[in-house]
């Protein structure tokens, strides 16, 4: 081969980048995927374990992400990948009419409240008092005139403090485990930002038919191509709220790895931690130094790593790579026997808003997912329909504060979070029984936080990478332009296409 491309990082972003490269690169291009750990998948990690309460039964536990949304262009793009990988038969769709799709809750003032399913629904939510002042405020209030601001500033200015503190902050806990007063509205709730910009009012914009997906010409072309290739996907999307696979989301990353191996196009090297990248711009090569391996010389690098990790591999300083932090989340899986533990109201789960003062009152609890109720049929044998499986997510932007007085040793922290999760379930869901099985994982710096100004920083980074590395380095991954698995896959496709088109131009 004339050209060698290395993808660094074997999470869903790196696997997808290698997969899209392998599908479209001419035979003259060699592809290597370098992953530091012994497995691919990154934060995607699904375990099947024995059920202690139902002999012969097994339970599926997710350590990281647990469901995908089929909606939008990125949703459609992942479904196309699922089809091409031939793993549709293990899809577990959650119908839009199921309780999990209809009932999402927030825990506030000692009880659970049903979350609205749309912005208009949110504007009239009973938890937030009379609706007119809020909608009225949004109709008359002026634009901030700023390029970006925090979600809290934006939402409070347009809809009042209660709306931000009681509702939106809970959603931000659910997606980013983040602080509503620090995250960028433009990078996280782009639709709200554009409604204000284009219509001067969110409510008015929605009434006038605004609020659709923000599509680039590349997105538009992608959507057209997929709809033409797989017209039946529309039916799945219209009926499905979220989905996973029989053996969890890791089915996707495992299938990607298997397909890459079968293609014979990608050299997957695990246990290969990259330590340093040296760019020789005159010879147009990159030397990749690794722990325990000989250096590798390639023509192009695509880094699918958390930005801070990439920063540590580069000789040059790029402040845009280290500005936005990532938060740590404790994930606690709790399994009860459904004979003695039942949910009063089935649904997807509940979130804790900022107004609950979670750091003090709930040891940093962000929310609880009702796994067995939302994605049914992952547990097998006698466990199926006989377990109540919950996951408590704890910490995020509150992690340092709630663990400050504790020994930072992982085992001790895990016991602390397990106690928090058990106590939470007892208090919030009135489940007095002891769990049959408990697993805790502390995921250090696992969710990137797009702080105010993030998009501008990404534009600057893009320009600097182009000028400093003359096109030899490209980046992708959750740290840049979208944290969901769908976003990671779509952005991987875009970077793979962009890099290959550059080679074709050469």
Residues contributing to the site for ligand FAD (CB under 6 A) = 8-14, 34-37, 42-44, 64-68, 273-274, 304-306, 309, 329, 331, 443, 446-447, 477-478, 483-486, 488
Closest approach, Cβ 291 to ligand FAD, in A, equals 8
- Give alpha helix (H) positions in 93-215: 99-102, 119-123, 131-140, 151-159, 161-162, 169-176, 185-188, 190-199, 202-207
Q: Is 199 exposed, middle or buried (0-12, 13-18, 19+ CB in 10 A)?
A: middle
State which residue, 46 or 169, has the beta carbon closest to ligand FAD: 46
Residue among 48 and 273 whose Cβ is closer to ligand FAD:
273
Residue 15 C-beta: closest distance to ligand FAD, Å: 7
Q: Residue 441: beta bridge partners?
A: 331
3-state secondary structure of 8: strand
- Packing angle between helix 151-159 and helix 131-140, nearest 10 degrees? 110
CA distance 162 to 225: 43
Report, in Å, the least distance between residue 504 CB and ligand FAD. Answer: 26
Shortest distance, CB of residue 353 to ligand FAD, whole angstroms?
19
What is the three-class DSSP state of 28? coil
Minimum separation from the CB atom of position 233 to ligand FAD (A)? 18
Quote the least distance from Cβ 277 to ligand FAD, whole Å.
10
Q: Is the dihedral of CA 92, 46, 70, 204 positive or negative?
A: positive
Kindly tell me which of 102 and 308 has the beta carbon lying closer to ligand FAD: 308
Do the strands 29-34 and 3-8 form a parallel or antiparallel pair, or are they unpaired? parallel
Residue 65 structure tokens: 């992400």
* Contact residues for 442 (Cβ-Cβ < 8 A; gap 6+): 328, 329, 330, 331, 410, 413, 414, 417
Nearest distance, CB of residue 445 and ligand FAD, angstroms: 9
Of 31 and 331, the one with the shorter C-beta distance to ligand FAD is 331
Pick 195 or 268: Cβ nearer ligand FAD:
268
DSSP3 helix / strand / coil % (the chain, rounded to 5)? 45, 25, 30
- Tokens 């609205």 found at: 116
Q: Which is nearer to ligand FAD, 153 or 267 (CB)?
A: 267
Q: What are phi and psi of 384, to 5 degrees?
A: -60, 130
CB 455: neighbour CB atoms within 10 A?
17
Q: Which is nearer to ligand FAD, 337 or 476 (CB)?
A: 476
Q: Kindly state the DSSP code that residue 116 receives in the 8-state scheme.
A: P
Q: Is the CB of 62 or the CB of 166 nearer to ligand FAD?
A: 62
DSSP 447-502: EE--BTTHHHHHHHHHHHHHHHHTTSEEE-SHHHH--SHHHHHHHHHHHHHHHHHH
> Residue 32, Cα to own-chain centre: how many angstroms?
25
| 57, two tokens | 């039964």
* Residue 39 or 464 with smaller CB distance to ligand FAD: 39
CA triple 463-466-469, angle to 5 deg: 135
Q: How far is the CB of 95 from ligand FAD (least distance, A)?
A: 18
- Residue placing its CB nearer to ligand FAD in the complex, 296 or 483: 483
């Amino acid at each position: 081969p004339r050209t060698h491309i290395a993808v660094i990082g074997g999470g869903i972003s790196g696997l997808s980048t290698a997969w899209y490269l392998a599908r479209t690169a001419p035979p003259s291009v060699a592809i290597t995927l370098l992953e530091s750990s012994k497995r691919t998948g990154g934060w995607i990690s699904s375990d099947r374990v024995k059920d202690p309460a139902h002999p012969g039964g097994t339970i599926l536990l997710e350590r990281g992400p647990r469901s995908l949304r089929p909606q939008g262009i990125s949703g459609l793009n992942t479904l196309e990948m699922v089809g091409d990988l031939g793993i549709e038969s293990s899809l577990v769709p959650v119908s839009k009419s199921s309780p999990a799709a209809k009932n999402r809750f927030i825990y506030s003032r000692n009880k659970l409240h049903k979350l609205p399913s749309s912005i208009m629904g949110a504007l009239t939510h009973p938890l937030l008092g009379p609706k007119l002042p809020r909608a009225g405020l949004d109709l008359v209030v002026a634009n901030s005139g700023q390029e970006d601001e925090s979600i809290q500033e934006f939402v409070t200015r347009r809809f009042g403090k209660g709306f931000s503190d009681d509702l939106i902050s809970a959603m931000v806990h659910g997606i980013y485990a983040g602080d509503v007063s620090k995250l960028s509205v433009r990078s996280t709730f782009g639709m709200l930002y554009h409604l204000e910009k284009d219509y001067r009012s969110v409510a008015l914009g929605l009434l006038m038919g605004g609020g659709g997906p923000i599509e680039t010409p590349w997105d538009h072309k992608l959507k057209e191509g997929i709809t033409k290739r797989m017209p039946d996907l529309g039916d799945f999307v219209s009926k499905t709220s979220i989905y996973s696979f029989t053996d969890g989301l890791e089915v996707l990353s495992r299938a990607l790895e298997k397909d890459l191996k079968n293609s014979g196009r990608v050299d997957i090297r695990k246990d290969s931690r990259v330590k340093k990248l040296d760019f020789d711009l005159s010879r147009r090569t990159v030397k990749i130094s690794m722990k325990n391996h000989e250096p590798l010389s390639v023509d192009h690098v695509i880094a699918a790593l958390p930005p801070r990790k990439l920063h540590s591999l580069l000789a040059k300083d790029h402040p845009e790579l280290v500005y936005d932090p990532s938060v740590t989340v404790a994930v606690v899986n709790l399994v009860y026997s459904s004979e003695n533990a039942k949910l009063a109201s089935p649904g997807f789960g509940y979130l804790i808003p900022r107004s609950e003062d979670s750091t003090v009152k709930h040891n940093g609890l962000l929310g609880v997912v009702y796994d067995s109720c939302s994605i049914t049929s992952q547990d097998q044998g006698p466990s199926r329909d006989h377990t109540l499986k919950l996951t408590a997510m704890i910490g995020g932007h509150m992690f340092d504060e709630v663990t400050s007085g504790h020994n930072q040793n992982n085992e001790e922290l895990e016991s602390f979070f397990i106690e928090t999760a058990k106590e939470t379930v007892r208090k919030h869901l009135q489940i007095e029984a002891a769990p049959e099985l408990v697993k805790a994982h502390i995921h250090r710096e696992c969710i990137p936080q797009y702080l105010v100004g993030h998009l501008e920083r990404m534009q600057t980074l893009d320009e600097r990478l182009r000028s400093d590395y003359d096109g030899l380095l490209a980046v992708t991954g959750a740290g840049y332009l979208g944290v969901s698995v769908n976003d990671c896959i779509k952005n991987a496709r875009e970077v793979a296409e962009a890099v290959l088109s550059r080679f074709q131009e050469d």
